[in-house]
Structure 1
Amino acid sequence: MKTLFGFGLADDQLLSQAVQADREDLDLVTVSDHPYLHDRLDAYAALGLVLGRTDKITAAVNVTNLPSRPAPMLARTVTSLSKLSGGRVALGIGAGGLWREITKLGVEPLSPAQAVKALEEAITLIRALSGGGGPVTFDGEFYQVNDLIPATVPAPPIWTGSVGPKSLAVTGRVADGWIPGHASDWRSDLVSTSRPLIDEAAEKAGRDPRDIATIYNLTGHITTAPLPATRDASGRWRGGSVAQWVEELTSAVLEYGAAGFTYFPTADGTPATTSLSRWATEIAPAVREATRT
């Protein structure tokens, strides 16, 4: 399986960064989804514009705020974008976390257990409303459709931002990938305790856990000279030189099974275009070469 290399786009440089990432052969660009914040772009409006201005790169929302985007409409949105872009879409999706903000949109609050159940229903329904076939009737606790014709376009890969045990189990049962929360990496306690829950749920559902990708959101400095320590006292990745990044990410792929990385530059005075270029043209190709089988 090809290791994905992505870049997290900033609203104020959205198009220029996306075009650069496409030109420099990255696999993925992502945008965030915070529809309750007045100074943030709507994620799916931004995604459509990015896909229209690029040629090769896949785009995703990292991650979709499900409570504000009902599953039947979300299915129509992602399948439409997939058709218009030639399949260059992935669906990052989350159960919702900032409920105090989400309810400002007029959305009824859900308990954690309800939100997880709604997430599983949503993924199931989005798949049912993709890929053609006969009319779909779905009578769930949170979503209902009646004799709705599916889009002919297949569902995109679905990656969750699951954190708790129940939502991690949903990932194992029905999702294609997992984006660990809090920018946690392969050496973190969060990943070491969470990934087994995904794998266990996958096996119980008759799935191969290896088919569920782990795609990491990463921050960190890309420095011109090596750092004495690439991790801080708590063990969190800080960054380092290109060679240090390559060594660490190669280990993440070969030893920890990482399937991809989305890089978010750390504010350190380096222009984002420079960080993006070093990520795309120096780090990504070297890791791809080192992990090629």
Structure 2
Amino acid sequence: MSAREVVFGFGAHSTIGDAPELLDMARLADREGLDLFSLSDHPYVGQRLDAYAALGFVIGRTQRLAGFANVSNLPTRPPAMLARTVTSLAALSGGRVVLGMGAGGLWERIADMGVARLSPSDAVDAFEEAIVLVKKLSGGGPPVTFEGRHYRVNQIEPAPVAPPPVWTGSVGRKSLAATGRVADGWIPGHAADWASERYRASRPVIDEAAAAAGRDPREIRTVFNFPGHITDRPLAATRDRDGRWVGGSTGQWIEELTAAVLQHGASGFMLFSPRGGTPDLPSLARWAGEIAPAVREAVAKDAP
């Protein structure tokens, strides 16, 4: 995926009982030309499918659909092993994997898994170290020795596979700056979108940190988790009193997302249900068959 390519996908919070439905949705998305799907990663919830086991299985049942954990629960997934997982998935699938990374949000439950609790500041430091280490353990080359505050490896051979794109779910200022320094994409937290104050306050932090590190901020894509209704008729108002998107007709979705790309630099959208859960199959079909192609066409027409 190039930084300028606009990608479309869907997100799921799948339990073990949802496995057949997840496969049906992935097959539909693959057939209709969506780019990727995501799974949440909460290993302390026994009913949830393990994100990486499910990603590998679903990617293996599709032809072009990429997958990612939105976002990986890093504290429970040591980065050296995570590097092996994602590079293996990339090798097996022809590169159809994105590495979603998070510092860890629900520390009460994370600690219940036997993981040492980190302070918020230390968790972000570990998060940045982990991204650097995963990239060092990808792409071939000589053995890697890495001595960080939180993670260390000694003379470990990198996988001869290009590192997958790394997208983060950064929220706090320190984490946003880390995204600017070392990541390839950002998923705004709490389903914030381009019209939100959270986005307006957060994206400049990423851009400033990227520029300070000698990077082009435009290369760090913004991918939005985007919940909402897809209705048969236009709605009188597509946003609520707080300015949050509620949905609308396919035409209203197309207009909104096209403007997000052309006016606000959006480079990806993940469909969720109105309450932030897994979308239903009819909505996914309209998203994949009507909305995504129309937005792609409108954006292409505006391209220089």
Name the TM-score class by shorter chain: over 0.9
After TM superposition, the score normalised by the length of structure 2 is 0.94
| Cα distance in 2, alignment partners of residues 23 and 286 from structure 1 | 17
Contact 1:33 1:64 in 2 (8 A): yes
Give 1:9 deviation, angstroms.
2.7
Q: 2:189 aligns with which of 169, 181, 204?
A: 181
Report whether the alignment pairs 1:144 with 2:174. no
| Cα distance in 2, alignment partners of residues 99 and 137 from structure 1 | 29
Amino acid at match of 2:264: Y
**Which runs of no fewer than 5 residues in structure 2 stay unpaired?**
none
Give 1:10 deviation, angstroms.
4.5
Q: How does 1:147-162 map to 2 (within 5 A)?
A: 147-162=155-170
Contact 2:246 2:274 in 1 (8 A): no
Report whether the alignment pairs 1:7 with 2:15. no
After TM superposition, the score normalised by the length of structure 1 is 0.98
Structure 1 match to 2:290: 282
Amino acid at match of 1:5: F
Structure 1 SS opposite 2:127: helix
Give 1:272 deviation, angstroms.
1.3
Report whether the alignment pairs 1:254 with 2:262. yes
Q: How does 1:83-162 map to 2 (within 5 A)?
A: 83-162=91-170
| Cα distance in 1, alignment partners of residues 108 and 13 from structure 2 | 24
Q: How does 1:131-280 map to 2 (within 5 A)?
A: 131-266=139-274, 272-280=280-288
Amino acid at match of 1:214: T
| Cα distance in 1, alignment partners of residues 13 and 174 from structure 2 | 31
Give 1:39 deviation, angstroms.
1.1
Structure 1 SS opposite 2:145: strand
Aligned length in residues: 292
Report whether the alignment pairs 1:70 with 2:78. yes
Instruction: For residues 210-248 of structure 1, give each alpha carbon's deviation from its aligned partner in whole angstroms, at most 9, with x where no partner exists.
Output: 000000001000000000000000000000000000000
| Cα distance in 2, alignment partners of residues 273 and 147 from structure 1 | 47
| Cα distance in 2, alignment partners of residues 19 and 5 from structure 1 | 15
Amino acid at match of 1:3: V
| Cα distance in 1, alignment partners of residues 274 and 174 from structure 2 | 32
Structure 2 match to 1:24: 32
CA RMSD of aligned residues (A): 1.3
| Cα distance in 2, alignment partners of residues 80 and 2 from structure 1 | 24
Instruction: For residues 168-206 of structure 1, give each alpha carbon's deviation from its aligned partner in whole angstroms, at most 9, with x where no partner exists.
Output: 000000000000000011000000000000000000000
Q: Identity, % of aligned pairs?
A: 63
Instruction: For residues 139-165 of structure 1, give each alpha carbon's deviation from its aligned partner in whole angstroms, at most 9, with x where no partner exists.
Output: 111100000000000110000000000
| Cα distance in 1, alignment partners of residues 24 and 163 from structure 2 | 28
